[in-house]
């Protein structure tokens, strides 16, 4: 009989050092309100990569759309994407093709659409003409378009699309024309019609009018950009994620994205994600990040993206978890985050090591540099002497030498924070050698936590 896997929620509570019987009381106090959902958050993240964005009414502001935000060419592109989302096929640009604004009276788009009826199905041909206006569309332009289309019997339907409106006399003229001409069938999509169609087809709306998105919609777009393109938010988007961080408290994946972005492009000293969010949320973010190191790295490689923001960001998150929750939990999350998910996937120790090695080495490397810099002489970082490059100026093809850094680890120097005895070498001097065994990982994380605690405490005392 297959051994039953322990309850994930119980494992997590025990790992966090929280009494299971008291956890419900902790929930009610607000301290651990994420516990009921943290495992689901981690598990749901398994389906994050290559997501297709799904937006609903609540993801959009309900104010009238402002088409003045887009240009004539952008309106043509908007209509093209809208038709594609609506199910039109065989879309083709006329008058120079996509990106070239057509002149008035010319065809903009041709497309076909299958109409399914109870008795029969048929494919109809459509002729779309996009008219961008700052004011009402002129009657003469509508008449010219329709009369031009009437001379082309190959089109079943003619649709005029405008961001503004047309007058009642123009609508009356269209009705009179239709009474005397069975084909083509003429329709007009005015600004309000276009808005209704866009709200029913939100992907196009989000792409061309992002200001129409509510915060929830903008968050979904941020998740989609990261999952599909490995693009992190920056600037105003990042500031908004910080200000409204409580509004997506249970979304560990979005919190992970925001933290990675803050380390890469923001000000982590000002927006201290790893210290401001509570320990349970931090744990969920760390576990989610470690679970998807491989998918993130593979995606970066496929897109030729720099992987360092991921490694640097996860290093920061793990240091915060180490400082706040201890080395035992940090080691579990680094070594085997699958323990906290309901996934049946079990990696070999070698794959686990390859996953956490760059993150652990980054932690130790950063601590080694900043603990020794202006603080301690036990470990010193030195760059390769550049004097030999002097003679390169006398070579027609100068020799390019790789940049190298040397680490000097002294057993005789004094450890300024008292963690290393005299006569012993500082573990930070081996910042490129991650431990392969879990018990060794715990020991080295315990030392790293001591460095973090002592150095940050000194900084506080000297402030």
Q: Tell me the C-alpha distance between 231 and 237, whole Å.
A: 12
Q: How far is CA 142 from CA 64, 112, 138, 179, in A?
A: 25, 22, 7, 16
pLDDT of residue 104: 45
Rounded-to-integer distance, Cα 373 and Cα 342, Å: 43
For the chain, give every domain's residue range. 8-50+237-384+404-462, 67-202
Judged on CB neighbours under 10 Å (0-12, 13-18, 19+), 155 is middle
Cα 450–Cα 314–Cα 234 angle in degrees, nearest 5: 125
> What's the pTM value of the predicted model, to 2 decimals?
0.71
- Please give the pLDDT value at position 57: 75
Report whether pLDDT(330) > 90: yes
Whether residue 252 is predicted with pLDDT greater than 80 in this model: the reply is yes
Q: Are 32 and 284 in contact (CB under 8 A)?
A: no
Render pLDDT for 58-111 as a digit per residue (tens, 0 to 9). 888 888 888 988 999 899 999 999 999 999 999 998 764 333 444 443 447 889
Q: Each residue of 259-287: pLDDT tens digit? A: 999 999 999 999 999 999 999 999 999 99
Percent of the chain with pLDDT over 90: 48
- Note the pLDDT of residue 33: 34
- Euclidean distance between CA atoms 226 and 222, whole angstroms: 6
Q: Residue 378: which residues within 8 A CB-CB, separation 6 or more?
A: 372, 409, 410, 413, 414, 415, 416, 420, 426, 429
The whole-number pLDDT of residue 389 equals 59
The fold for domain 67-202 equals Trna Endonuclease; Chain: A, domain 1 (3.40.1350)
Pairing of the two strands 157-162 and 121-131: parallel
- Cβ-count burial 231-250 (b if 16+ within 10 Å, e if not): ebbeeebbebbbeebeebee
Question: pLDDT (tens digit, 9 = 90+) per residue, 359-406?
Answer: 999 999 888 888 877 667 766 665 555 445 566 665 677 666 665 666
Structure confidence at residue 35 (pLDDT): 35
Position 338 pLDDT exceeds 80: yes
Render pLDDT for 28-42 as a digit per residue (tens, 0 to 9): 333 333 333 444 554
Give the lowest-confidence range in 18-32, 148-162, 366-380, 423-437. 18-32
Q: What's the mean per-residue pLDDT of the chain?
A: 81
pLDDT at 2: 36
Q: Which candidate, 95, 162, 73, places its Cα nearest to that of 170?
A: 162
Angle, helix 252-265 to helix 308-325, in steps of 10 degrees: 110
Structural Rg of the chain based on CA atoms: 31
């Amino acid at each position: 009989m297959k051994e039953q896997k322990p309850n994930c929620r119980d494992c997590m509570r025990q790992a966090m050092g929280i009494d299971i019987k008291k956890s419900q009381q902790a929930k009610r106090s607000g301290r651990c309100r994420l516990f009921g959902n943290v495992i689901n958050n981690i598990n749901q993240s398994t389906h994050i990569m290559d997501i297709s964005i799904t937006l609903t009414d609540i993801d959009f502001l309900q104010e009238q759309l402002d088409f003045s935000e887009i240009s004539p060419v952008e309106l043509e592109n908007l209509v093209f994407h809208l038709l594609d989302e609506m199910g039109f096929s065989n879309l083709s640009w006329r008058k120079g093709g996509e990106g070239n604004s057509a002149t008035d009276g010319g065809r903009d788009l041709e497309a076909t659409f299958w109409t399914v009826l109870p008795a029969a199905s048929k494919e109809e041909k459509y002729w779309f003409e996009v008219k961008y206006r700052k004011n009402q569309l002129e009657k003469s332009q509508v008449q010219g378009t329709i009369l031009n289309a009437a001379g082309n019997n190959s089109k079943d339907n003619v649709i005029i699309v405008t961001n503004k409106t047309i007058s009642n006399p123009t609508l009356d003229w269209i009705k009179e024309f239709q009474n005397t001409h069975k084909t083509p069938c003429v329709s007009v999509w005015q600004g309000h019609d276009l808005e209704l169609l866009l709200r029913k087809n939100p992907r196009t709306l989000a792409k061309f009018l992002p200001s129409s998105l509510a915060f929830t919609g903008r968050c979904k777009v941020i998740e989609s950009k990261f999952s599909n393109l490995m693009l992190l938010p920056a600037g105003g988007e990042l500031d908004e994620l910080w200000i409204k961080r409580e509004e997506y408290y249970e979304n560990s994946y979005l919190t992970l994205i925001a933290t990675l972005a803050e380390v890469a492009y923001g000000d982590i000293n000002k927006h201290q994600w790893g210290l401001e969010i509570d320990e349970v949320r931090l744990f969920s973010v760390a576990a989610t990040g470690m679970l998807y190191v491989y998918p993130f790295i593979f995606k970066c490689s496929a897109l030729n993206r720099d992987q360092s923001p991921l490694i640097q960001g996860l290093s920061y998150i793990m240091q915060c978890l180490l400082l706040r929750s201890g080395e035992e939990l940090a080691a579990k999350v680094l070594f085997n985050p699958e323990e906290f998910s309901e996934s049946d996937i079990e990696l070999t120790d070698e794959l686990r090591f390859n996953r956490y090695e760059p993150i652990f080495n980054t932690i130790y490397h950063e601590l080694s540099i900043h603990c020794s810099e202006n603080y301690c002489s036990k470990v010193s970082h030195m760059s390769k002497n550049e004097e030999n490059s002097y003679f390169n100026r006398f070579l027609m093809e100068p020799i390019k030498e790789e940049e190298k850094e040397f680490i000097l680890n002294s057993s005789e120097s004094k450890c300024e924070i008292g963690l290393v005895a005299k006569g012993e070498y500082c573990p930070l001097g081996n910042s490129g050698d991650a431990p392969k065994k879990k018990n060794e990982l715990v020991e080295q994380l315990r030392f790293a936590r001591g460095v973090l605690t002592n150095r940050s405490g000194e900084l506080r005392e000297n402030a």
